[in-house]
Amino acid sequence: MSVLTAAAATAVAVSAQSAQAAPKPTTAQLRAQLQQLNTQADEAVQKYDGSQEQLQKQQAAVGTLQDQIARSQADVNSRLDQLGEIANQQYATGAVDPTVQLLLSSSPDDYLSKAASLGQLTSNQAAQIQQLQGEEQKLSGQKSQAEQTLQQIESTTKQLAAQKAEAQKKVQQTQALLDSMTAAERAAVTSPPSTSGGGSGNGGGGGVTVGVSVGGKAGDSVEAAAFAAAKTRLGLPYVYGATGPESFDCSGLMQWAYAQAGVSLGRTTYDQVNDGTPVSSVSDLQVGDLIFFNGDSHVGMYAGNGMVLHAPHTGTVVKFEPLSYIGSIYAMRHL
């Protein structure tokens, strides 16, 4: 064997050994990676949801404003017609300069622009024209501002949609890694640790169910009603941007559940974290309280016995999970 051939063979052997020696991620490392990616996805989707809500409100505002402008323009046109009729009569009697005739065939905007400068018009007519000019300018400015804001929000929504897609891509990459593992390995990474507290079951599709009671430290009737509504959604899929009734994201589930109890919550976690009254410690939590995790990017509902009812992330369903499994608590609110 030549020296060159031997060197090449050695290089191949070393490369193979290096590849074989590459450490396989541990269960803890994979779980941490998945949690990090899910947190990033939560942040992206909450911002996306917020922008979508702003966009819808702005679209409604623009529609309302356009209706107002249309009604105002109709009123302006009607008043212009009245002024024009008066001008016609004055012209017929020789009371108005012949140039007024030109106004009668002009557009409303031209009429206002030209008529305002005619000294032959009465002071009352001139005042009316000036008032109409002011109304049209004000409405035109409002419409322009609303449309400009709408364009800005549409641009932001596109950017956030791209962020959402990127976050979802990261989760899918991790899911592909999990799919390459054995069932036992995958279960060890995705399942929360076993908990005591009574009860058993699959939590409506993969979650941990415990004997959750709304007695004792349960919330008030509104919270109890919201919690009861949320429990009816167990097992339904998590979907980005969904607000029910058949699929949800984390804040969408909270909004829907409280709506069933007659309480209107904000759309996103960033809105909901400001609703209600702060809870100072886990020991003070009541069933139905909202709990925010990981810098308020995720929200769930306290279910008692150290458990949370929530819509976790892509690929999962509405279920119960232990507080300690979800992530670091950012805030707690009693509604």
Question: pLDDT tens digits for the chain (335 residues)?
Answer: 554 454 455 555 545 554 455 677 777 787 777 778 788 888 888 888 888 888 888 888 878 877 877 777 777 777 767 766 665 655 555 555 544 444 444 555 555 555 555 554 566 666 777 777 777 777 777 778 778 878 888 888 888 788 778 877 877 776 777 777 788 877 777 676 654 433 333 333 344 444 444 343 445 589 999 999 999 999 999 987 899 999 999 999 999 999 999 999 999 999 999 999 999 999 999 999 999 998 899 999 999 999 999 999 877 899 999 988 888 899 999 98
Task: Take residue 70 and report the two structure tokens written for it.
Answer: 């249309």
For the chain, domain boundaries = 27-179, 196-334
Pairing of strands 298-304, 277-278: unpaired
Which residue is catalytic, options 96, 100, 250, 299? 250
Q: How far apart are CA 211 and CA 199, in angstroms?
A: 5
Task: Take residue 118 and report the two structure tokens written for it.
Answer: 């005619």
Q: Name the CATH topology of 27-179.
A: Helix Hairpins (1.10.287)
Pairing of strands 329-334, 307-310: unpaired
Beta bridge partners of 332: 291
pTM listed for this prediction = 0.63
Q: How far apart are CA 257 and CA 263, in angstroms?
A: 9
Q: 250 an active-site residue?
A: yes
HEC sequence for the chain = CCHHHHHHHHHHHHHHHHHHHCCCCCHHHHHHHHHHHHHHHHHHHHHHHHHHHHHHHHHHHHHHHHHHHHHHHHHHHHHHHHHHHHHHHHHHCCCCCCCHHHHCCCCHHHHHHHHCCCCCCCHHHHHHHHHHHHHHHHHHHHHHHHHHHHHHHHHHHHHHHHHHHHHHHHHHHHHHHHHCCCHHHHHHHHCCCCCCCCCCCCCCCCCCCCCCCCCCCECCHHHHHHHHHHHCCCCCEECCCCECCCCECHHHHHHHHHHHCCCCCCCCHHHHCCCCEECCCHHHCCECCEEEECCCCEEEEEEECCEEEECCCCCCECEEEEHHHHCCEEEEEEC
Tell me if the bond preceding 245 is cis, omega within 30° of 0.
yes
Which residue is catalytic, options 164, 233, 267, 310? 310
Q: What is the pLDDT of residue 108?
A: 54
> 196-334 architecture in CATH?
Alpha-Beta Complex (3.90)
Task: Take residue 61 and report the two structure tokens written for it.
Answer: 């505002």
Q: 164 an active-site residue?
A: no
Which residue is catalytic, options 298, 313, 319, 334? 298
